[in-house]
Chains A and B, each alone.
Chain A
Amino acid sequence: MLRSIGRRLGVAAVSIVGVAVLIFFITQLLPGDPARIAAGQYASNEQVEQVRARYGLDQPIMVQFGGYLADLFRFDLGTSIRTDQPVREELLTRLPATLELGLSSLLIAVVLGVGLGVASAVCRHRAGDKIIQIFVVLASATAVFWVALVAISVFVNRWGLFPSPIGRLPRGYPPPAHVTGFHVVDALLAGDLATAGAALRTLLLPALLLGALASASIVKIVRSSTISALESDYARTSRSFGYPGASILVRDALRNALLPVITNVGLVAGFVLAGGNVLIEQLFAWPGIGGYAYRSLQENDLFALRGYVIFIGVAYVLINTLLEFVYRWADPRVAIAEAT
């Protein structure tokens, strides 16, 4: 057991180093000239050379690589060209905003995905199932930035159901005292119900959008795993004893059907914290790391972008490693297969 955990952590460490190396060579060796990209499209040659010297880009590649690795080893993600601030600090100050949005979306995705997936399996081949399947196709074929735009213009601008997309709080609400960094939680801790409510209403629309789109993949997996669990031999044994349907659904079907969801949560987390997040934060002016990546991209801040990518890569590896441990704990078959 301990040895397999150690081995898994070793694999994670190797992946992280691999990601760091990969990102360096993508940004350095690809035909694009980082100094020129950083200096901007219309920079003069002189300006480009200045940028090159300033960031050590005129050094031999292996020297740069060594410096880069040494920095990473000290958790230094480099310096932003745009703001001249350390990228790590900039990301860390923005992280709570992204986590608040991302974790809410993840929660919505899992609850919605499992609920719809089970419902779809229980009423398989009937009307309810068809409707859920159509939702799945629509959700997985919709561009998140487009549906966000449509939602803002209908729900916010036309119907006024949610506050304007101008950040984490509507105009006129000062942010609550920083405790967890989550505005809803911090406002509640401060006993400020009005601010908590406003923060929640602001959070709801982007979280619902990200969560609903991300739920599609969970619905697919839960549906097929629930169906195969319901048609399994052990569910048949339970039916042969006359157990009530609810007991069979919960203890036989769900326990087994939810195992593959654990692995899928990693992909969904990648979407709500990174992929979909960059697009949503931009449209909702959400002050998180996705918005930061977007700004860096627009302003050719290659170092900030590189820091962001490494940050996300490390987080993603750690999340997936953690999920593997969760899976191992949840499925007795894995732990035993490894112990023997």
Chain B
Amino acid sequence: MTLLSVEGLCIDARGGQGIVRDVGIEVDPGEIVGIVGESGSGKTMTALSLLGLLPEGVSVVRGEASLAGTPFLRGGRTLRRPNATMIFQNPTAALNPTMRIGAQLRRLLRFLGRKGEAEALLESVGIHEPRAVMARYPHQLSGGMNQRVLIAMAIAAEPSLLIADEPTTGLDVTVQAQILRLIRSTVAAREIGVLFVSHDMGVIAQMCRRVAVMYRGEVREFADVDDVFHAPRDSYTKELLASAREGDDGSRP
């Protein structure tokens, strides 16, 4: 059974300018599906639209989406909050600068109607001294550490889908590898499906089974990563691959 299914998604900016056109994507339970494309291809907007996080002036105009068989988006209108959470690019900015990590975790757990698990939660994402981290403010921690905190928060909500929007862009290469490993092991243990957005073909190849290649708001190709890499059918995908191989920055293992 399909976990996430998106069909015919269209997103417009104010004034009718199309940002995303007729996008369709599927994620199976426990599967990591990539969306790859250059900046401005509409991949981040697609991800944000699923959780109703589009910036002001940008809105979904058409499209259907369902999670675990329950529709949450129909005819461009959000019907309910899907049981999904999200992690972002630039983790330090994604945490409230005036609240300690502990306070932010407790805020989430209280909202979820649970308590007292903050430390265990941090330990589960490989933070060895949870108490010390909880006493800190986000700007006192490294980007990698903050991303771990955000991953801990994202899985605390026990989602069936995790949306990851460029979660390792801007981190050091070694940290990048750790975070990618953490995401993979975390979702594998919990059977969480992942929609993994990245501009980096190498990261996508490492993380995903299937990938959607986006260009100018359209999905040009949605297929197994191996097929896309070895036998790309779309002309744009070929170009993207060629440039990725040329400028390979060693982020692939």
Contacts and interface: CB of A to CB of B under 8 A. Distances in A.
Contact of B137 (A232, A242, A243, A333): A333
A96 B99 CA distance: 39
B56 interface: yes
Interface string B49-86: 00111011000000000000000000000000100011
B122 interface: no
A58 interface: no
B94 A242 contact: no
B97 A332 contact: yes
A242 B52 CA distance: 10
A331 B99 CA distance: 10
A259 B98 CA distance: 10
A242 B153 CA distance: 13
B140 to A, nearest CB: 6
Contacts of B153: 241
Interface string B129-159: 0000000010110000000001001000100
Interface of A: 231-234, 236-243, 247, 251-252, 255-256, 259, 331-333, 336
A100 to B, nearest CB: 33
A241 B98 contact: no
B180 interface: no
Contact of A234 (B52, B85, B97): B97
A234 B150 CA distance: 11
Given A241-B153, A251-B99, A336-B139, A233 B85 contact: no
B93 A332 contact: no
Contacts of A234: 93-97
A150 B139 CA distance: 51
For A232, A237, A332, the residue with the greatest tally of chain B CB atoms inside 10 Å of its CB is A237
A241 B157 contact: yes
B107 interface: yes
Contacts of A241: 85, 108, 111, 153, 157
A232 B56 CA distance: 12
B98 A331 contact: yes
B98 to A, nearest CB: 5
A256 B98 CA distance: 7
21 contacts: A233-B88, A234-B94, A234-B97, A236-B88, A237-B86, A238-B96, A240-B53, A241-B111, A243-B107, A243-B111, A247-B107, A251-B96, A251-B107, A252-B96, A255-B96, A256-B96, A259-B98, A332-B97, A332-B98, A333-B139, A336-B140
A331 B53 CA distance: 27
For A233, A247, A251, the residue with the greatest tally of chain B CB atoms inside 10 Å of its CB is A233
Interface of B: 51-53, 55-56, 81, 85-86, 88, 90, 93-99, 107-108, 111, 137, 139-140, 150, 153, 157
B121 to A, nearest CB: 14
Contacts of A239: 51-53
A256 B55 contact: no
A263 to B, nearest CB: 16
A255 B140 CA distance: 18
B96 A231 contact: no
B95 A240 contact: no
B149 to A, nearest CB: 11
Nearest to B92: A233
A240 B86 contact: yes
B139 A256 contact: no
9 nearest interchain CB pairs? A233-B93, A234-B96, A233-B94, A240-B86, A237-B94, A255-B98, A332-B137, A242-B81, A240-B51
A336 B141 CA distance: 12
Contact of B53 (A236, A252, A256, A333): A236
A237 B150 contact: yes
Contacts of B108: 241
Contacts of B107: 243, 247, 251
B79 to A, nearest CB: 14
Nearest to B107: A251
Contacts of B85: 240-241
A259 to B, nearest CB: 8
A323 to B, nearest CB: 18
A237 B88 contact: yes
Contacts of B93: 232-234
Contacts of B51: 239-240
Contacts of A231: 55-56
A177 B57 CA distance: 61
